[in-house]
Chains A and B, each alone.
Chain A
Amino acid sequence: MTAVIFAIIILSAVLVIASGIWVAVALIGAIAHIERGPASAEDRAPDKDRT
């Protein structure tokens, strides 16, 4: 039981670090997107429920 709880805690820590890296990569992409200048045609499409 102790080993299982320990494994869950360590796995959680690894998952949180992975989340941080995922958001960092997305952030770099978002900044690059902003730096490319005006929004693309797709971004300028009328606001709609794009489900």
Chain B
Amino acid sequence: MIAPGGEVADGLGNGTVHAVLSVALVVGYVVVLTLVAVRARAAREYAEFSLARRALPLALIFGSLCATYVGAVFSIGFVGRGFQSGFLFFFIGLAYSLQNVLVGILIAPRLRALSDCHTLGDVIGQRYNGTCHVLAGIISVGLCTGFAAVMAKAGGVVLNDVFGLPPWSSVTIVVGITTLYTATGGLRASVITDAFQFTAFAILLPIVLLVSLAFHLEGGSAAFMEQAATATRDAVGSMSCVEIIGLLTAFFLGETLIPPYANRALASETTRVARNGFVLGGLFSIIWFLIMVSLGIVARGAIAGGTDEDRVLLNLVKTIMPTEGYVLLLVVTVSIIMSSLDSLLNAGAVAFTQDIVRPLRRVPDVAALDVGRAATIIIAVAAAAGAVAVPTLIKGLLICYTVWAPAILPALVLGLWLRRPRPLAGILSMVIGAVVALAWQFLWADKTGIPAIIPALVAALLAYLFGHFFGTSEGEKNE
């Protein structure tokens, strides 16, 4: 890493030229990003702010979806995991890929086919009742704020490492810039800047891999495979079966249809675009994970063995790329984080407006747009404040995963597939799923070694079954 203060110059050698070029790269990237955001234009109507008029084409849905899920964990984190455990996390990541493909085939087109839905809360409200709608909204806003806090922390860490800024100002810069274009342009600005950011990292990071394979692979392909086999074997041997099942479950369900993904399904141009966007996104994640994990394996022969896993990617790039390449990668890293953060801020703001405010009081579209913008800012401030409380990136994400899957997925998926879903089932599964997830995570996860997502999912499903058999549907009530 470039340490605060003097080491920049050391790393550059005689480096005024390098320093100027590096600054020019950073400034150039920020200027282009700003131009792209400005071209996206301010949202003038609530339908533009929340769903970009439901007119997004396949390439933008695909790029934005990928940019949203490729956050700090699926880039920096996966390179670190490849460094530590070879191909193990590539295989675990396949659970995530499978989930995306299944969502594309089974759920995304059904979501898109529903009319007058801006959020998952709307979907749940349509299938159950108003109470479920608000409950889903509260969970969505809470989750988006939590995820955004993790992303704000990640952005802050990178800026802090690069420029030596105090953590609070690093977080403020990342959150401030992201909030500015998200609050102004809504979903369309978020999707368009995501597409730009996707382009940057989808081109640059594979180039880093190709360069490292071509010029920096100690011992050639045989050594690469030997490193991969050794690391994978050691990692598999050090994990229990329950741990691996817990990880597979978390990757399979933890991010399933979180609000930003659902918004992209709802904002697609057609049901076919919704389906293909998610299927392609799932297939893309397979090759993306392979590249990230391979970078980690290459790094085993290029950087010191005891390197902290969150620093493997940056240390590798610093070792094998010229200074400008390293600086550009740092910018791209911040970009990866911002593309996830903007999606979370927009999804949280739309969920707040649509699922909490609108069911409780009648709000016209013009006022809803203002509420959405204000909510974006409030969630951003809460996320920036919460970033300080996030223990580690992985821990923060796992808490969010743990709550989301049990609290929302049974009610959402069964609600979409059952002919007459019962509100009692939805309420019980959401409340019990969330409570068991939080209680297990903080009280029993360490003692038992069982990841909270598993018991919480079981409890949510049982609660749903109970509510389904003992409750009545809205239609039955009216009869």
Contacts and interface: CB of A to CB of B under 8 A. Distances in A.
A19 B284 contact: yes
Nearest to A7: B221
B293 to A, nearest CB: 9
Given A2-B222, A3-B221, A26-B59, A13 B195 contact: no
Interface string B310-329: 00000000000000000000
A34 B41 contact: yes
Interface string A17-42: 10111111111001100110001000
B163 to A, nearest CB: 27
Interface stretch (B154-162, B205-213, B345-353, B448-456): B205-213
Contacts of A49: 112-113, 115, 270-271
Contact residue range for chain B? 35 or more
B416 to A, nearest CB: 15
Contact of B202 (A3, A20, A39, A51): A20
B192 interface: yes
Interface in B242-298: 269-272, 284, 287-288, 290-291, 294
Contacts of A51: 109, 113, 270-272
Contact of A13 (B201, B209, B271, B272): B209
B225 A5 contact: yes
Contacts of A14: 206
B166 interface: no
B210 A23 contact: no
B222 to A, nearest CB: 6
Contacts of B58: 26
Contacts of B202: 16-17, 19-20, 23
A48 B271 CA distance: 10
Contacts of B76: none
B113 A23 contact: no
A43 B269 CA distance: 9
A16 B272 contact: no
B63 A26 contact: yes
Contacts of A19: 62-63, 66, 202, 284
Interface string B28-55: 0000000010011100000000000111
A31 B185 CA distance: 13
A34 B39 contact: yes
B89 interface: no
Contacts of B210: 10, 13
Given A12-B291, A39-B55, A26 B60 contact: yes
Nearest to A8: B290
B392 interface: no
Given A13-B206, A35-B39, A23 B291 contact: no
Contact of B207 (A12, A17, A50): A17
B340 to A, nearest CB: 16
A1 B210 CA distance: 19
28 contacts: A2-B221, A2-B225, A5-B225, A9-B213, A9-B294, A12-B287, A13-B206, A13-B209, A13-B210, A16-B284, A17-B202, A20-B202, A20-B203, A23-B59, A23-B60, A23-B63, A23-B202, A26-B59, A27-B59, A27-B63, A27-B196, A30-B195, A31-B36, A35-B39, A39-B55, A43-B55, A49-B112, A49-B270
Interface of B: 36, 39-41, 53-55, 57-60, 62-63, 66, 109, 112-113, 115, 188, 192, 195-196, 198-203, 205-207, 209-210, 213, 221-222, 224-225, 269-272, 284, 287-288, 290-291, 294
Given A25-B59, A26-B195, 10 more contacts: A2-B222, A5-B225, A6-B224, A10-B213, A13-B210, A13-B291, A22-B59, A23-B62, A34-B188, A49-B115
Interface of A: 1-3, 5-6, 8-10, 12-17, 19-27, 30-31, 34-35, 39, 43, 47-51
